[in-house]
Structure 1
Amino acid sequence: MAKQGVQGILGFPVAPFDRSDNIDERALEANIRFLLDSGLDAIFICAGSGEFQSLSVAEYEQMVAMAVSVTAGRVPVYAGTGGNLQHAVVLSDLARINGADGLLILPPYLISPEQEGLYRYYRTIVESAGLPSILYQRDNAVFQPATVQRLCELPQIVGFKDGFGNMELNVELTRTIGSRLQWMNGMPFAEITMPAYAGLGFECYSSAMSNYLPHVSRLYFNALRGGDRELLQTLYAEVLLPINRIRKQRKGYAVSLIKAGMDIVGLPVGAAVRAPLIEVETEHYKQLEQVIRHALDKFPRP
């Protein structure tokens, strides 16, 4: 399982739709190649940024197969799965058949389960496909350390991604489980919170911004690891916090704002998102465009 482990900056492609509301394969390929050429360390397909909740089974298989083909072994490819348990089992099997290196297991549908139920849910999905798997903590899937310890008895479990943000719980988890898992920051706009997570041993994070400003995300990550406080302060003040303020203006912007950013830098993904998400409003689009233009002027692409 070791070679499927992930590190560094994790890329999460979007689900681009054409005018007929079908997956735009040309745009998806461009998105994945852009992430690869920008040096991202793994590709996570059909996850939150990829509008997992709105994909048909056929679209899911289409996107996973394309990610595996375009990536061609350069970095690990993890596929999102989860939600309805039986549906998750079907998708996990399709991910395996189409060559995915592992799974990112999203929370169960709707139910806020007891720890035993949470354990059974994740165990069922992990054992069904037999792929290296990452537990995703967020919303209604919040783990106690004892539950994670039980799940760690499954050799397929290789990582833990936190999108919940309870730092006291994260201290308990990391100090209880230790290096058995790869710890990943999965908070919305993870660059904002990464300094706090890095102190707990979280060595990688999912970067939505890498879909349109990957070199800035890399600049940030290197500054964080190198202790360059002056550069970090500049990046926060002039790029990260301004984008984050726009992201928080509307629910669902965690996804649709990514597509807006990609459109601004010339990537052909379009702005369309599927309900219940909404497109970025014109004024917020203009605000994002100003921030991106400033970022590109101050921090030119290498």
Structure 2
Amino acid sequence: MCFGRLITAMVTPFDEQLEIDWEVAGSLIDYLIEEQKSDSLVVCGTTGESPTLTDREKEDLFRFAVERAAGRCKIIAGTGSNDTRHSIHLTKMAEQAGVDGVLLVAPYYNKPSQEGMYRHFKAIAEATSLPVVLYNVPGRTGVSLSTETTLRLAQIQNIVATKECASVEQMTEIVAGAPESFVVYSGDDAVTLPALAVGGYGIISVASHIIGAEMKRLIEAYTEGRTADAAKINASCYPVFKGLFHCPHPVPNPVAVKAALRMKGLPVGGVRLPLVDVTDPELDFIRKLIG
């Protein structure tokens, strides 16, 4: 199953009461496909504020995204958690909703061993026929899925990819050791080009909400052998890659990207507690960043 090279981890639009705004959600999906050139969308990932979405909201979002996309792009459901049984439940729910694959974050907070993480992902993969994308993001979870464990998991038939945020070195090792059919995505926008250079396939992105079309041009330039062009595009995109997470101080995702989308005329609303919206100085920084 190919999810394409540019995947957007989609925000969840909220109204003034911080309930899901379905009209804006539909407009956002259209915009990400048509204007920002996303090949696939991750729904209910961390960027979609999955920790504060109920299971019912997630199920409704999975179904809505599948129906709205209508085959124009793939829909990947964020169904990972630190509870294996709950992840299996969410994954089965997503499969019934008609999604094309699932993204499973490494179990956070309870800090399982490598064997525990292997068994966690294996159990979920065996409970579904959907393609599975692993997600290693040590900065958020407190654990890191090792190269060795990732390569063990890559032998399981329907575990087809990983979203890697540990290091370019680890991406390199995974690319070198994994089956040819297993692909590596960067989970860090700023590492899109270096990831491609070491054999990564693409990016699961936040910045693609704002500069997706440019990122698609970057990827195409690199894959077509126009490396100097790719480097130039990367240099022009880099301030946005960094600025959406440091504006100018660290800001938790998706606070900044939601503010940027509002500036672009997409009223995606605010964020649910415990996240809080940008401050006035941060808003000024974002306004200058996206022009």
Question: Is TM-score (shorter-chain normalized) higher than 0.5?
Answer: yes
Q: Which residue of 2 aligns with 1:120?
A: 119
Give the percent of matched residue pairs that are identical in Structure 1 and Structure 2: 25
Contact 1:252 1:278 (C-alpha < 8 Å) held by counterparts = no
Q: Which amino acid aligns with 2:70?
A: A
The alpha carbon displacement at 1:116 in A equals 0.8
CA contact (8 A) 1:246 1:287 kept: no
| 1:96 paired residue number | 95
Deviation string 1:41-83 (CA, Å, 9 cap, x unpaired) is: 1111111210111110111011111110011122211100111
User: Please, what TM-score do these two structures have when normalized by structure 1?
Assistant: 0.87
Per-residue CA distance 1:58-109 (angstroms, 9 max, x = gap): 1101111111001112221110011122221111111001001110001213
1:203-222 correspondence runs (5 A): 203-222=201-220
| Aligned mates of 1:149, 1:228 — CA distance in 2 | 29
Calculate the TM-score normalised by the size of structure 2.
0.90
2:20 aligned to which of 15, 20, 23: 23
Cα offset, 1:266, TM superposition: 0.5
Whole-Å separation in 1 of the counterparts to 2:158 and 2:9: 22
Measure the CA separation in 2 of the matches of 1:243 and 1:146.
Answer: 29
1:164-211 per-residue CA deviation (whole Å, 9 max, x = no partner) reads 22x332222221114231110112xx1x21222112111210221221
3-state SS of paired residue (2:58): helix
Deviation at 1:250, TM superposition (A): 4.5
The answer to whether the 8 A contact 1:239-1:291 is kept is no
Q: Secondary structure at the match of 1:194?
A: helix
Q: Distance in 2 between matches of 1:42 and 1:213?
A: 15
1:155 aligns to what SS in structure 2? coil
**2:183 is equivalent to residue 185 of structure 1:** no
SS at match of 1:206: strand
Q: After TM superposition, list the pairs within 5 Å mapping 1:45-194 onto structure 2.
A: 45-83=43-81, 84-139=83-138, 140-165=142-167, 167-187=168-188, 190=189, 192-194=190-192
Runs of 4+ more than 4 Å apart: none
Q: What amino acid is the match of 2:212? A: P
> Contact 2:151 / 2:174 at 8 angstroms: preserved in 1?
no
- RMSD value, Cα: 2.0
Letter of the aligned partner of 1:25 in structure 2?
A: W
Question: How far off its partner does 1:243 sit?
Answer: 5.6
Q: What is the CA–CA distance in structure 1 between the aligned matches of 2:49 and 2:186, rounded to whole Å?
A: 19
Q: Residue 6 and residue 134 in structure 1: after superposition, are their counterparts in 2 closer, same or farther (change >3 A)?
A: same
CA–CA separation in structure 1 for the residues paired with 2:278 and 2:231:
28
Question: Could you tell me how far apart the structure 1 residues matched to 2:80 and 2:158 are?
Answer: 16
How far apart in 2 are the matches of 1:76 and 1:230?
28
Q: What code does the residue aligned with 1:98 have?
A: A
Q: 1:129 to 1:280 in 2, by over 3 A?
A: same
Q: Cα distance, 1:233 vs. partner?
A: 3.8
The amino acid across from 1:279 in the alignment is D
Q: Report the equivalent of 1:297.
A: none
Q: 1:291 to 1:224 in 2, by over 3 A?
A: farther
Per-residue deviation, residues 253-293 of structure 1 (Å, max 9, x unmatched): 331111111111111212x1112222111112122112222
Gapped runs of 5+ residues in structure 2? none
Deviations 1:230-258 (A, max 9, x none): 6744652x552256146224444331111
Q: 1:155 offset after TM fit, Å?
A: 1.1
Q: Which amino acid aligns with 1:151?
A: L
Would you say how many aligned residue pairs link Structure 1 and Structure 2? Answer: 284
**Contact conserved, 2:193 with 2:234, CA < 8 A, in 1?**
no
Distance between the aligned counterparts of 1:49 and 1:145, measured in 2? 25
Deviates more, 1:245-254 or 1:74-83: 245-254
Offset of residue 30 of structure 1: 1.0
Write the letter of the residue equivalent to 2:163: K
- What CA distance in whole angstroms lies between the structure 1 residues aligned with 2:114 and 2:98? 31
Q: CA deviation at 1:129?
A: 2.4
Deviation at 1:114, TM superposition (A): 1.4
Give 1:155's aligned amino acid: Q
CA–CA distance in structure 2, aligned partners of residues 25 and 289 of structure 1: 26
